[in-house]
Amino acid sequence: MASSAEAAVIKAAFRSADLDKTGAISKQELATLLRHLDKSKWTQAAVNAVMDTMDSNKDQQIQYEEFLDWCLGGSSEANELLTLTRLTQCEKVTEEIRQQAIAFLCHKTRCALFPDISETLRSDEELVLRVMKDWDVPLKYGSESIRSNKTVVTTLVEKQVRNFRYASESLREDEELVCMAIRKHLLYPWCMEDIFDHVTSKITSSLDVMLEAVKIQPVALRFASPELQENKDLMLAAVNSPKCSRFSDALGKDFTLWFPRDLFDNDLDVMTIVVKKMPLLLKKASLNLRNDRDLVIAAVERDADALEYASESLRGDRSVVLKALQRSARKGGGNVLQFASAELQEDAELQAFQDEAYEQARRRAEGLVTEDETLVPLLGGTMGGTMGTTFGMDATVGLGATAQLAALGASLDLGASVDLGQSMSGSIGWLG
């Protein structure tokens, strides 16, 4: 015989199962009820077996008395159903009911029943933390008070960034919480929208918060307020980020998604950092900066093909072109002279230099020369450290005959600073 409290729970369970309110439960309604508890377990055969057990008069309907007998029979299925019913009706949380709820919900299939329990239970901090954290139940199923509870939200966001969107508005503009989410999750680019699509304008206007973000993912700059996108300190933090490199998503078209070119393409500090990391982005610099000798040299020393984006005057500067050729000799021997001025493209010595760079690339590919070995003679011969230093060239790149050395020195306008005797003795000493 059921107690009055137990009978009330059974009646509530029966009413929830009687979807069409006929006063009886059909086989389909029974299947719906059981599959709500565990969809994978309750196949049609399993439902049919329970139906046969419950339907004592075999009328293909479950009357209340039959349902009552089944519930009092103590089967595991009946106990699960009654427990869930108790949790849905709970209006006051005691330690006993809390532990009962934890035991019931901390299960690989029953955790999905969390949304069914009463709001009173979904507002219990201890219960929510245990179930949501351990079984990845989304924060959206917590009560309004839970979604405004900083302790709970911080814990759940730290584990799953997707929970941030379900936090209350006041917490989504909490700088401490947002910075925690950024530090924890922004290393993974796909988490960016999970944070910035749900913050308020207070966050996107905060320099401290956006500095945290762009240092990890420069592309986060696109979420900053228009005023902050003009902030040079924020831009410097973005381009200094390790993620802003030739090996990152910042290269190519993605770079233009976040780099406000119209604001910083003429800023030497910013463009120097960009070009040193991604030399071909010299093309994003202003015409004025593409005529800056130091900036262009910084680019071609890292990627010879950056010469293409230098100003017309610097593409006609012999020493700048030579820097590009040196880089080319080290890294593959490409056709760099095509980017030089028409006059320098006809320069016999530079053509010889480029031809030798092609040859070195071939020999290196065949394993005949390594990066650390002395380069084969360029421009016909050997030259030691003194001349290399004078030109700003690698010490291993050399010249041959005295006449060629003098001619090249004159063509580069090095003047009296080149002492042929010192250069040759330096070469001899270096060669041992």
* For residue 389, pLDDT beyond 90: no
- CB proximity list for 181: less than 8 A, separation 6 or greater: 157, 158, 161, 164, 195
Q: What average pLDDT score do residues 142-162 get?
A: 97
The yes-or-no verdict on residue 417 having pLDDT over 60 is: no
Cβ proximity of 237 and 209 under 8 Å: no
- Inside any domain, residue 429: yes
Among the residues of 346-412, which ranges form H helices? 348-365, 385-391, 402-411
Residue 380, pLDDT > 50, answer no
Q: How confident is the model at residue 78 (pLDDT cuts 50, 70, 90)?
A: very high
> How is residue 412 annotated by DSSP?
T
Please state, in angstroms and rounded to a whole number, the distance separating the CA atoms of residues 418 and 406: 8
For residues 110, 114, 118, 119, the Cα torsion angle rounded to the nearest 10 degrees is: 170
Nearest to 306 by CA among 292, 210, 270, 430: 292
333 contacts: CB under 8 Å, gap ≥ 6: 354, 357, 358, 359, 360, 361, 362
| CA dist 191 → 140, 312, 374 (Å) | 18, 44, 48
Residue 396 lies in a domain: yes
Measured distance CA(107)–CA(134) in Å, rounded:
10
b/e per residue, 303-327, with b = 16+ CB within 10 A?
bbbbbbbbbeebbebbbbbbbbbbb
The parent domain of residue 415 ranges over: 382-432
Domain-embedded: residue 110: no
pLDDT > 80? residue 418 = no
pLDDT tens digits, one per residue of 10-35: 999 999 999 999 999 999 999 999 99
Predicted confidence at residue 373, as pLDDT, reads 52
Per-residue pLDDT, 1: 58
* Average confidence (pLDDT) over 89-111: 94
Q: Each residue of 218-273: pLDDT tens digit? A: 989 999 999 999 999 999 999 999 888 765 544 444 676 778 888 999 999 999 99
Average pLDDT of the chain? 84
Give the whole-angstrom CA distance, residue 372 versus residue 154: 52
Q: What is the pLDDT of residue 355?
A: 87
Average pLDDT, integer, range 91-104: 96
pLDDT digits (tens, 9 = 90+) for 286-339: 999 999 999 999 999 999 999 999 999 999 999 999 999 988 877 766 789 999
Structural domains in the chain (count) = 1
Residue range 40-53, pLDDT digits in tens: 899 999 999 999 99
Residue 260 included in any domain: no
Tokens 């709001």 map to which residue? 119
- 375 pLDDT tier (thresholds 50, 70, 90): very low
pLDDT tens track for 172-217: 999 999 999 999 999 998 999 999 999 999 999 999 999 999 999 9
Residue 274 resides in a domain: no
- How many Å apart are CA 210 and CA 323, to the nearest integer? 38
Taking phi first (over 0 means left), then psi (-120 to 50 degrees means alpha), and beta for anything else, what does residue 74 get? Answer: left
Average pLDDT of the residues in 364-382: 54
DSSP letter for 52, please. Answer: H
Q: Within a 10 A sphere around the Cβ of 128, how many other Cβ atoms?
A: 25
How many Cβ atoms sit within 10 Å of the Cβ of residue 345?
A: 15
345-361 pLDDT, tens per residue?
A: 999 999 998 888 788 77
Whether residue 274 has pLDDT greater than 50: yes
Please report whether residue 421 resides in a domain. yes
* Per-residue pLDDT, 429: 28
Termini Cα distance of the chain = 108
Rounded-to-integer distance, Cα 213 and Cα 210, Å: 5
Phi, then psi, of 62 in degrees rounded to 5: -105, 110
Looking at residue 196, its pLDDT comes to 97
Region of 352 please: left (phi>0), alpha (psi -120 to 50) or beta.
Answer: alpha
What percent of the chain clears pLDDT 70, i.e. is strictly above it? 82
Q: Are 64 and 21 in contact (CB under 8 A)?
A: no
Asked whether the beta carbons of 382 and 398 are under 8 A apart, the reply is yes
Q: What are the phi and psi torsion angles at 164 (to 5°)?
A: -60, -40
Distance CA 303, CA 327 (A): 7
> Which residues touch 5 (CB under 8 Å, ≥6 apart)?
none
Please provide residue 25's backbone torsions phi and psi, each rounded to the nearest 5 degrees: -105, 125
| CA quadruple 56, 58, 63, 69: dihedral, nearest 10 | 10
pLDDT of residue 431: 24
pTM of structure: 0.73
User: Could you give the CA distance from residue 207 to residue 150 in angstroms, rounded to a whole number?
Assistant: 23
283-289 LR contacts (CB < 8 Å, sep 24+): 283/308, 283/309, 284/255, 284/256, 284/259, 285/309, 287/311, 289/265
Predicted local distance difference test score (pLDDT) of residue 372 = 53
In a domain, 415, yes or no: yes
Residue 398 or 284, more confident: 284
The answer to whether residue 99 is domain-embedded is no
